[in-house]
């Protein structure tokens, strides 16, 4: 697998570039939209949720934005990734290349966007007076976990979407549900000791977002045990997803 991907690394590079540049082509603010969007979302939550929740965390805006930015990476990746094969039907039918390049480049361009948007987190951390700590050095590990998890999901959904077109809409529903099941707007400590807490703990994305909070917001060691467990699990998940993708990929040109 890696040998062929290495051979086609130039294609991977150009399609990542195309992904980043092409998405907002023709719009006035261009690439800036990938940062303005989550900021506007944060603004809405920051206005609405203090009314709904009895008590919110101190520095609530900073608290939310650390959750919203990784979440934006995740949803964008799922939405774009699921249709990545179908949207490139023209090339799929005419040229051979390793098809997994398409979902991989969606996840990768999303990651680059996220890493840049981490600057926004830093600005908020400084402005709210929380500051920085050395725990931020764990960032690559958390990003890796999210990368692997998203890649696994997208490899499966993009392949199945070719055969069952409904998947795009089904996925939309699940993503919306997942948004509320993930501690983005609230802190999981709210449910400490209840059943809901254990459900949240089973959500890989919840674990990932909590880890981001640990290193940025609470400035403490992320739960390395769970994180390590998650990464091993995601590697296994990715491998299975890849095998499924490869099996289904043989029929792409005929089905799209």
Partner 1 sequence: MNEVAIEVKNVTKSFKLYYDKPSTLKERLVFWNKKKADNHIVLKDISLTINKGETVALIGVNGSGKSTLLKLMTKIIYPTQGKIVTHGKLTSLLELGAGFHPDFTGRENIYFNAAIFGLTKEEIDARLDKIIEFSELGEFIDSPVRTYSSGMYMRLAFSVAINVDAEILLIDEILAVGDQHFQDKCFQKLEELKKDGTTIVIVSHSLDAIKKLCKRAIWLHEGKVKMDGSDEEVINEYIKVCG
Give the nearest distance from C-beta 102 to partner 1 in angstroms: 11
Binding mask of the shown chain, residues 90 to 129, with x at each position contacting partner 1 by CB under 8 A: xxxxxxxx--------------------------------
Which of 164, 193, 195, 225 is the binder for partner 1 (CB under 8 A)?
A: 164
Compute how many other C-beta atoms are within 10 angstroms of the C-beta atom of residue 77.
Answer: 27
Question: What CA–CA distance (Å, rounded) separates 149 from 143?
Answer: 10
Give the nearest distance from C-beta 237 to partner 1 in angstroms: 24
Question: What CA–CA distance (Å, rounded) separates 254 from 234?
Answer: 31
Give the nearest distance from C-beta 10 to partner 1 in angstroms: 4
Residues in the chain: 256
The reply to whether 247 sits near partner 1 by the rule CB under 8 A is no
* Site size with partner 1, rule: CB under 8 A: 25
Binding mask of the shown chain, residues 63 to 92, with x at each position contacting partner 1 by CB under 8 A: ---------------------------xxx
Nearer to partner 1 among residue 69 and residue 85 (C-beta): 85
The CB-based long-range contact list for 120-124 (8 Å cut-off, 24+ gap) reads: 120/35, 120/38, 120/39, 120/65, 120/69, 121/62, 121/65, 121/66, 121/69, 121/216, 124/61, 124/62, 124/65, 124/66
The reply to whether 22 sits near partner 1 by the rule CB under 8 A is yes
Nearer to partner 1 among residue 90 and residue 131 (C-beta): 90
Question: What CA–CA distance (Å, rounded) separates 170 from 161?
Answer: 10
- For residues 185 and 45, the answer to whether their CB atoms sit within 8 Å is yes
The reply to whether 173 sits near partner 1 by the rule CB under 8 A is no
The reply to whether 202 sits near partner 1 by the rule CB under 8 A is no
The reply to whether 2 sits near partner 1 by the rule CB under 8 A is no
The reply to whether 7 sits near partner 1 by the rule CB under 8 A is yes
Give the nearest distance from C-beta 93 to partner 1 in angstroms: 7
Question: What CA–CA distance (Å, rounded) separates 99 from 146?
Answer: 22
Q: Residue 222: CB partners within 8 Å, gap ≥ 6?
A: 135, 138, 141, 142, 210, 211, 214, 215
For binding to partner 1 (CB under 8 A), which residues are involved?
A: 7-11, 13-14, 18, 22, 25, 90-97, 164-166, 250-251, 253-254
């Amino acid at each position: 697998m890696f040998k062929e991907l290495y051979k086609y690394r130039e294609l991977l590079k150009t399609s990542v570039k195309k992904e980043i540049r092409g998405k907002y082509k023709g719009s006035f603010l261009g690439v800036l939209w990938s940062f303005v969007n989550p900021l506007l979302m944060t603004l809405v939550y920051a206005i609405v949720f203090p009314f709904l929740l009895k008590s919110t965390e101190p520095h609530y805006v900073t608290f939310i934005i650390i959750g919203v930015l990784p979440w934006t990476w995740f949803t964008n990746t799922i939405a774009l990734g699921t249709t990545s094969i179908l949207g490139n039907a023209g090339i799929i039918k005419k040229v051979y290349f390793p098809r997994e390049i398409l979902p991989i480049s969606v996840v990768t361009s999303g990651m680059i966007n996220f890493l840049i948007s981490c600057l926004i987190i830093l600005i908020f951390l400084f402005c709210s007076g929380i500051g920085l700590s050395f725990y931020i050095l764990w960032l690559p590990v958390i990003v890796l976990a999210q990368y692997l998890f998203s890649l696994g999901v997208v490899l499966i959904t993009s392949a199945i979407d070719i055969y069952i077109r409904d998947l795009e809409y089904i996925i939309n529903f699940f993503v919306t549900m997942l948004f509320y099941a993930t501690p983005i707007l609230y802190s999981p400590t709210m449910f400490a000791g209840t059943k809901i807490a254990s459900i949240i703990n089973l959500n890989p994305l919840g674990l990932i977002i909590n880890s981001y909070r640990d290193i940025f917001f609470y400035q403490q060691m992320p739960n390395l045990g769970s994180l390590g467990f998650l990464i091993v699990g995601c590697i296994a998940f990715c491998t299975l997803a890849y095998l499924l993708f490869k099996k289904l990929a043989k029929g792409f040109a005929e089905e799209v």
